[in-house]
Amino acid sequence: MTYLSKTMILVAGLALAACTNPDRFEDQNNVNLNGTGLSGSASDPTSPAYFQQAIGDRVLFAVDQSTLSPEAQAVLDGQAGWLMTNRDFTATIEGHADEQGTREYNLALGARRANSVQEYLISRGVAANRLRTVSYGKERPIEICSNEACYAKNRRAVTVLAAGLGS
């Protein structure tokens, strides 16, 4: 177990240098999910890559809303199950908004979205001390066009895994 933790920290360190995902920001413990196998293969169900690609690391929201759709709940059920199985990971839930709104309101709106996800995961059995939230408001869109197709993808909450036990 000790050995595994050390391995994960090493992986996180390596991944930082290769980090290219725009969702990954500022967090020193991010695990690279885009990389070249550092975080495992998507066919390995214990890998962060599997979490991102097979389960889905994000849920989307309607305009101004922070309620979880049935589709979102299904994704989060998968996330909760994975987190219950893979207990060496913690997660930061990043809430985001589209650009149609003022900066500070959108920060608060993103926080509401991240909190909806956190509460849902806790209700599905994930320990609260393994989860934390942050909002980026409209500061970090993943799509940059100015129409609903992009806005819909930007109104999101992304569950970002990090190696290490919860505090």
Partner 1 sequence: MRSLLTLLAALTLWAVPATAQTQGGPLRLELTEGVIEPLPFAVPDLVAESTQASDFATRIARVIAQDLSGTGLFREIPAEAHIGRITSFDSPVEFADWRAINAQALVTGSVSVDGAGRLVVKFRIHDVFAGQELGRGQQLVGDADGWRRIAHKVADQVYSRITGEGGYFDSRVVFVSESGPKDQRAKRLAIMDYDGANLRYLTDAATIVLAPRFSPTGDRVLYTSYETGFPRIYLLDVANVGRRVLPTIDGTMSFAPRFSPDGRTVVYSLTQNGNTDLYTMDIASGASTRLTTAPSIETAPSYSPDGSRIVFESDRSGTPQLYIMDARGGEAQRISFGQGRYGTPVWSPRGDLIAFTKQAKGRFHIGVMRLDGSEERLLTASFLDEGPTWAPNGRVIMFTRETQGAQGEARLYSVDITGRNLKQVPTTGGASDPAWSPLQD
Q: Which residues form the interface with partner 1 (CB under 8 A)?
A: 22, 25-28, 64, 66, 99-105, 107-109, 111-112, 114-116, 118-119, 132-136, 139-146
- Smallest gap from Cβ 72 to partner 1, in A, equals 15
Cβ 39 to partner 1, closest distance in Å? 20
Give 17 or 144: the residue with its C-beta nearer to partner 1.
144
Question: Which residue's CB is nearer to partner 1, number 77 or number 143?
Answer: 143
Instruction: Choose between 11 and 97: whose C-beta lies nearer to partner 1.
Output: 97
DSSP codes, the chain: -HHHHHHHHHHHHHHHHT---TT--S-TTBPPSSSSSTT--TTSTTSHHHIIIIIISEEE--TT--PPPHHHHHHHHHHHHHHHH-TTEEEEEEEE--SSS-HHHHHHHHHHHHHHHHHHHHHTT--GGGEEEEEEETSS-SS--SSHHHHHHHSEEEEEEEES---
The residue (of 21 and 53) whose beta carbon lies closer to partner 1 is: 21
What is the smallest separation between the CB atom of 143 and partner 1, expressed in angstroms?
A: 8
